[in-house]
Amino acid sequence: MFRHAIPVLHVEPINLAKDFYGKLGFEEIFSYRFDDRRSDPCYMGFRREGVTIHVSSFLGDGVPGGVVFLVVDDVDSLYEELIAKGISIDLPPTDQSWGNREMYVADPSGNSLRFVHGGDR
């Protein structure tokens, strides 16, 4: 019955998150605000290559410092792409003892995006 899960990461302010996720190659697919005259609070969705992430600056939607694993085909080529865009990498591609090759990136709100090859289990 389950088809997929969409993580919600808490971010503030939304404009920094929008710029950051755009640099990662994610496309904004929607945004929702109570008051369109203000940038925050906002609930926003992003997608890249069929992977969807939601971010929110609404009180109570997640907590700063969340973690999401994103399974990718090639951590090393993604690393080269992000370095070329000036993205700061917290952990460069690393072979982990549990069998994954992983790279970690933090968004401006301190959420950890963990790009993983071999993380299908």
**Rounded to an integer, what distance in angstroms lies between the CA atom of residue 47 and that of residue 3?**
16
So where are the chain's domains? 8-117
| Average pLDDT score over the chain | 94
Structural contact between residues 65 and 7, judged by C-beta atoms closer than 8 angstroms:
no
8-117 maps to which CATH number? 3.10.180.10
pTM check: above 0.85? yes
Q: Which of 32, 80, 78, 41 is nearest to 59 (CA)?
A: 41
User: Would the pLDDT of 8 be above 60?
Assistant: yes
Residues 24-79: tens digit of each pLDDT: 999 999 999 999 999 999 999 999 999 999 999 999 998 889 999 999 999 999 99
Q: Which of 45, 49, 53, 42 is nearest to 6 (CA)?
A: 53
**Rounded to an integer, what distance in angstroms lies between the CA atom of residue 42 and that of residue 14?**
7
Structural contact between residues 61 and 8, judged by C-beta atoms closer than 8 angstroms:
yes
Q: Which residue has the tokens 């990461």?
A: 9
pLDDT at residue 120 in the model:
61
Structure tokens at 58: 């609404």
Residues 89-108: tens digit of each pLDDT: 999 999 999 999 999 999 99
